[in-house]
Amino acid sequence: MRANSRPFWFWAIPVNILVIALIAIFILVIDEDDQPAPVAEQTRTAGQGGDAGAGASPAADGDSDGETPGEARRDVEDPFGLGNPESPVAMVVFTDFQCPFCAKHSAEVEPQLIDQYLNEAKLRIEWRDVDFFGEDSNRAARAAWAAGQQNLYIEFHQSLFGDGEPLDPPDLTQEKLTAAAQALSMDLAQFERDMESDEAYQHVRDNAEEAAEVGAFSTPAFVINGQPMSGAQPLEEFQKAIEAAEQDNPYEAGGSS
């Protein structure tokens, strides 16, 4: 029988090819497993309790209670509103009791808007007190909520801002706030109890969340029939905005269009 004349490396070539092919297949499998899931799959995962990512919009679905952020409630029994709920224009005001520009607006512009528009049932104003300036603002906002429980929010709000001078922490101590309530003949026991209630704290948190959802990160900030406006603008700017909103007439008695 003839001896095999092929050299030993002749058989090494197909073996090497087979090994290389197996390694390549292994690498492809590992690489496929490491690829991110398709966008649709990522979206489904986020919707099942995962992190939706930085691109998610907190206001995409509106408030959990069905209200649109920055939209007036137009509730005749709302203690934080003033003016006919069926007025063609509604202005939501985000304000902080330590904000100097809020005090200026409250003393100089607000009374003129009330005289010019509220008395003719053309404008409704609703306030959302926030605590951007910290603990003292939070205490004042809770006190304002407590005043609202005795249907004296507007009077309390106006008494704090009064002459339009900025309010500092010493002006917003528990003693000063209680004294302001007493000057309005409130039931002080109820006032102090309401101030410390869970509802008062939640009210301020809700206002801050609503402000964030409409992009109001400073005060004063306004939403006039859905249109944002920021800063203590002169009276003329509010007149233009209110009259433009009335002309557009996006609200009709009985509900939004």
Cα dist from 122 to 44, 78, 84, whole Å:
47, 18, 8
For the chain, give the mean pLDDT: 80
Residue 251 or residue 63, greater confidence: 251
The pLDDT tens digits for 155-204 are 999 999 989 999 999 999 999 999 999 999 999 999 999 999 999 999 99
Q: What is the pLDDT of residues 3-57, one digit of tens each?
A: 444 444 444 445 455 545 555 544 444 444 444 333 233 322 223 233 323 222 3
Are 181 and 188 within 8 A, CB to CB? Answer: yes
Q: Give residues with Cβ within 8 angstroms of 217, minimum separation 6.
A: 132, 211
> Is the Cβ–Cβ distance between 210 and 81 less than 8 Å?
no
pLDDT of residue 98: 98
Query: Is residue 241 within 8 Å of residue 227, measured between CB atoms?
Result: yes
Quickly tell me which residue has 């302001």 as its tokens: 180
CA nearest to 134, candidates 104, 165, 180, 168: 168
- Quick one: fold of 89-246? Glutaredoxin (3.40.30)
Which pLDDT belongs to residue 67? 73
Crossing angle of helices 198-213 and 135-148, in 10° steps, is: 110
Q: What pLDDT does residue 131 have?
A: 97
Give the number of residues written for the chain. Answer: 257
